Amino acid sequence: MGWNRVAVVGVGMIKFGELFEKSYEALLQEAYLAAIRSVDKGFDPGEIQAGWLGTCLGSAMGLEIPGGASLAATVGLVEIPVTRVENGCPTGSDTFRNACLGVASGVYDVAIAIGVEKMRDKPTEESLLSIAAQGHPILSRGGIAPSLFAPQATRHMHEFGTTKEQMALVAVKNHHNGCLDPYAHFQTEITVEQVLSSPPVSYPLQLLDCCPQTDGAAAAILCRADLARRYTDRPVYVAGFGMGSDYLYLTEKERATEFAATRRAAKQAYAMAGVSPRDIDVAEVHDCFTITEILNYEDLGFCEKGEGGRFIQEGKSQLSQLGGSLPVNPSGGLLAKGHPLAATGLAQIAELYWHLREESSVSNRQAHLRRGYALQHNVGGFGIATSVVTILTNHAD
Amino acid sequence: MGWNRVAVVGVGMIKFGELFEKSYEALLQEAYLAAIRSVDKGFDPGEIQAGWLGTCLGSAMGLEIPGGASLAATVGLVEIPVTRVENGCPTGSDTFRNACLGVASGVYDVAIAIGVEKMRDKPTEESLLSIAAQGHPILSRGGIAPSLFAPQATRHMHEFGTTKEQMALVAVKNHHNGCLDPYAHFQTEITVEQVLSSPPVSYPLQLLDCCPQTDGAAAAILCRADLARRYTDRPVYVAGFGMGSDYLYLTEKERATEFAATRRAAKQAYAMAGVSPRDIDVAEVHDCFTITEILNYEDLGFCEKGEGGRFIQEGKSQLSQLGGSLPVNPSGGLLAKGHPLAATGLAQIAELYWHLREESSVSNRQAHLRRGYALQHNVGGFGIATSVVTILTNHAD
């Protein structure tokens, strides 16, 4: 009943972390090779007819302008088109979405989507946000990413009684999950007390409410759904996707307790896939801050408006083996796995691919599959005004 | 016989030039409104289901990160997805290509592609190339854009006897054409002597061999070919497109006398459109420098390898009314119309749309239509390693 015109037949990612010793090109190549090698029945890279490269930070730093050719040349795919996508925090999922459109267009049978980011080896004064802050009407007034998400937290606390303890539970859950994910940047259990007593960043967000700065890369190989069984007997299908926008400034937005871009993206994705939130077995969502995951529960329809705090408190988003009914961020999420901007969306796709195929690599955190649908989500960019939602399934009917 | 699954039903651009008095958002809005208003049978912007925004310079400056939402929010299209594409000099044509794929995928019936660039109102020391130069293995050794294209010129002169006079003729032709185009940055006739005596920039390129730095914006409205007659009785169809890559460094490239990326893009585009260079009535090609246009003649198959200098000298690329058999850059090209990176490709599409529809706005430079095919081309990006070729037609059969 879904769209199901495009299949994912391979995914790859590298261990996220502080990768000072590896170049941008090395990250890109490692994720590329991991994706190629993951294809069950083997894969000749010469079959790739088009590529989409997601990467943000190079140009934001002013140090390089990594066009599509930086993928093409690095892996030797010079015959093919490679588009470079940059769209803030949802860059990875928008890169994947454009590759889906390319394959669905009928112009390309097989495509690659790859996201890569070096976030750590830059001087602090040249970090993305400090550069972006120059001349920006909000950021130049002392804003940092946490202070863009803090107002949503205070307003949600005010309107719905959401607590800092509930937010802390998101960090505790995701750091627990990260301990089970060998690709995660952080692999340490934390407690609610540790979150609440970590250094304050932007009220009410403490340090452990915030995701780290992380290097990483991830990739997916996509093909026409009717060709998928050439490559694997267990393809994952793209059931649907959506992408929404919003006005850029808080003063222009309708409500401070939700992300309208996410709601718009989710509405499109559910309609395209012909499913509802009840059909989702597992989700990887954009937990750049703990409050973001709580808002996502509501914006994605996992619970009612205002119920996000209770959703985490009641354990509904825990891993299946801990009794969760809709496991969210089994990979550790942005909070524990890390958030290398353009790599994040594709790493989420990889995690969900493994769950939908019940691969041994995720057996320690495998989501219980009921309906066979998984949801991927990013939200962000300037003004938190862009969101992408992707719905994957392990069955084509 | 071509692809013809997507139609262009409206185009818009603003007068290119030094637009210090207008903001980025103002350029974007003007091009957007011009495209909307150009649709013959009227057009409700609410019909736009997806957008692609091409823009390079903001993030290269480190001053802003203009994601897709900067289009969505500026024109009020917050319900729809907007992908931001950045791919060096071919950004505009790659933006158009991704919009084509989006429409052809069947997911979106109507889409907009828009390119916008503010190039002039930045301090020189923060210009695109000076920032990009930091840390770049070629540019940091004193390279500027002209010095990346100069080696192709000297080698072409050495191997094929191409002369500086022939290169100058490209500038003379395009500046003449620019005088006929009210949208062009420069509208002044120049002579071969003026080109040859203009200040040297990077041997053998003089100042008038180089395109200017220009502000601008341009847009196109695309729809499913089968819906085109809702909007106009004279749609222009996308017969085909191609995009090729190349290795980044001169030492890795096979030949210094051609752009392999262009040859790859052209091969794909001609095959997709089912036509050959002989079917092209008019072309807008990437004349960032005079030598580039001469190489393009060869790389696009308008003449044999090594014959590019003779092609311009014999007047073949002149306007039809001056006896040209394949008019190239009737708009004035990058040399006279200007080159606001991401806007350039879409402005080329606009010029060709007007020619294919024989609009009164181009009657002073109208190409003689024989077969009804027009070709658009960009090449560039780091390492001159990315090229896009688009073939448009005024008939769907």
Residue A131 has pLDDT above 60, yes or no: no
**Per-residue model confidence (pLDDT) at position A63:** 41
**Per-residue model confidence (pLDDT) at position B141:** 56
Q: Measured over all CA atoms, what is the biggest interatomic distance in chain A, rounded to whole angstroms?
A: 57
Handedness of CA B187, B193, B199, B201 (dihedral sign): positive
Say whether A248 and B85 touch across the interface (CB within 8 A).
Answer: no
Position A144 confidence tier, pLDDT thresholds 50, 70, 90: confident
The answer, for A313 touching chain B at a CB cutoff of 8 Å, is no
Position B66 confidence tier, pLDDT thresholds 50, 70, 90: low
Run of H or E residues at B10: strand B6-13
**Per-residue model confidence (pLDDT) at position A69:** 82
Residue A281: count of CB within 10 angstroms of its CB:
22
Chain B positions in Cβ-Cβ contact with residue A111 (cut-off 8 Å): none
For a pLDDT cut of 70, what percent of chain B falls above it?
92
Buried residues in A187-223 as b, exposed as e (16+ CB within 10 A): beebebebbbebeebbebbbebbbbbbbbbbbbbbbb
Shortest CA distance from B264: residue in chain A: A79
Q: What is the mean pLDDT of residues A55-80?
A: 73
Say whether B72 and A102 touch across the interface (CB within 8 A).
Answer: no
Q: What is the mean pLDDT of residues B143-171?
A: 94
* Identity of residue A165: E
Measure the CA–CA gap between B178 and B196, rounded to whole angstroms: 19
* 3-state DSSP assignment of residue A285: coil
Position B61 confidence tier, pLDDT thresholds 50, 70, 90: very low
ipTM attached to this prediction: 0.92
Q: What is the dihedral of CA B147, B153, B155, B161, to 10 degrees?
A: -160
A195 with A208: CB under 8 angstroms? yes
**Per-residue model confidence (pLDDT) at position A76:** 86
Chain B positions in Cβ-Cβ contact with residue A265 (cut-off 8 Å): 81
**A1 to A5, A97, B246, B313: CA distances (angstroms):** 11, 19, 41, 61
A232 with A264: CB under 8 angstroms? no
Run of H or E residues at A239: strand A236-245
Position A136 confidence tier, pLDDT thresholds 50, 70, 90: low
B234 with B40: CB under 8 angstroms? yes
Position A396 confidence tier, pLDDT thresholds 50, 70, 90: confident
In this structure, of A108-122, A229-243, A336-350, A383-397, the range with the lowest mean pLDDT score is A108-122
Which residues 124-143 on chain A approach chain B with CB closer than 8 angstroms?
128, 131-132, 134-136
Q: What is the mean pLDDT of residues A209-234?
A: 97
**Per-residue model confidence (pLDDT) at position A143:** 63
Measure the CA–CA gap between B44 and B76, rounded to whole angstroms: 13
* 3-state DSSP assignment of residue A221: strand
Measure the CA–CA gap between A384 and B227, rounded to whole angstroms: 34
Position A129 confidence tier, pLDDT thresholds 50, 70, 90: very low
Count CA atoms within 13 Å of residue B312 on its CB side: 29
- Strand segments (E) across B157-198: none
Position B337 confidence tier, pLDDT thresholds 50, 70, 90: very high
Q: Which residues contact A288 (CB under 8 A, 6 or more apart)?
A: A89, A145, A149, A210, A211, A334, A339, A380
**Per-residue model confidence (pLDDT) at position B305:** 98
Measure the CA–CA gap between B340 and B58, rounded to whole angstroms: 12
**Per-residue model confidence (pLDDT) at position A124:** 42
Q: What is the mean pLDDT of residues B185-191?
A: 98
Residue A252: count of CB within 10 angstroms of its CB:
12
**B133 burial via Cβ count (<10 Å: 0-12, 13-18, 19+):** middle
Q: What is the mean pLDDT of residues A225-244?
A: 98
Show the CA angle centred on residue A84, arms to residues B378 and B374, nearest 5°: 25
Measure CB to CB from residue B87 to each of A68, A105, A264 and give the nearest one.
Answer: A68
Residue B366 has pLDDT above 50, yes or no: yes
Say whether B388 and A81 touch across the interface (CB within 8 A).
Answer: yes
Measure CB to CB from residue A69 to each of B67, B248, B268 and give the nearest one.
Answer: B248
**Per-residue model confidence (pLDDT) at position B135:** 52
In this structure, of A88-102, B47-61, B357-371, the range with the lowest mean pLDDT score is B47-61
Which residues 226-255 on chain B approach chain A with CB closer than 8 angstroms?
242-248, 252
**Is residue B89 annotated as a catalytic residue, yes or no?**
yes
Which residues 40-59 on chain B approach chain A with CB closer than 8 angstroms?
50, 56, 59
Q: What is the mean pLDDT of residues B359-386?
A: 96
Q: What is the mean pLDDT of residues A112-137?
A: 64
pLDDT by residue (tens digit) across B222-232? Answer: 999 999 999 99
A150 with A158: CB under 8 angstroms? no
**Per-residue model confidence (pLDDT) at position B217:** 96
pLDDT, chain A, mean: 92
Shortest CA distance from A102: residue in chain B: B101
Position B120 confidence tier, pLDDT thresholds 50, 70, 90: confident
Residue B89 has pLDDT above 50, yes or no: yes
Residue A121 has pLDDT above 80, yes or no: no
pLDDT by residue (tens digit) across A330-345? Answer: 999 999 999 999 999 9
Chain A positions in Cβ-Cβ contact with residue B107 (cut-off 8 Å): 3, 101, 104, 272
Shortest CA distance from A77: residue in chain B: B245
Position B124 confidence tier, pLDDT thresholds 50, 70, 90: very low
Residue A258 has pLDDT above 80, yes or no: yes
Residue A33: count of CB within 10 angstroms of its CB:
15
**Per-residue model confidence (pLDDT) at position A250:** 81
Measure the CA–CA gap between A136 and B117, rounded to whole angstroms: 18
Q: What is the mean pLDDT of residues B12-30?
A: 93
The answer, for B215 touching chain A at a CB cutoff of 8 Å, is no
**A165 burial via Cβ count (<10 Å: 0-12, 13-18, 19+):** middle
The CA distance from B290 to the nearest CA of chain A, in Å, is 24
Which residues 378-397 on chain A approach chain B with CB closer than 8 angstroms?
381-383, 385-386, 388
Say whether B86 and A59 touch across the interface (CB within 8 A).
Answer: yes
Residue A140 has pLDDT above 60, yes or no: no
The CA distance from A222 to the nearest CA of chain B, in Å, is 14
A185 with A214: CB under 8 angstroms? yes
Q: What is the mean pLDDT of residues B94-120?
A: 96
Say whether A61 and B63 touch across the interface (CB within 8 A).
Answer: no
Q: What is the dihedral of CA B283, B236, B268, B250, to 10 degrees?
A: 40
Residue B131 has pLDDT above 70, yes or no: no
**Per-residue model confidence (pLDDT) at position B58:** 62
**Per-residue model confidence (pLDDT) at position B128:** 46
Measure CB to CB from residue A67 to each of B81, B87, B252 and give the nearest one.
Answer: B87
Chain B positions in Cβ-Cβ contact with residue A385 (cut-off 8 Å): 67, 69, 72-73, 78
Residue B190 has pLDDT above 80, yes or no: yes
Q: Which residues contact A255 (CB under 8 A, 6 or more apart)?
A: none
Chain A positions in Cβ-Cβ contact with residue B104 (cut-off 8 Å): 104-107
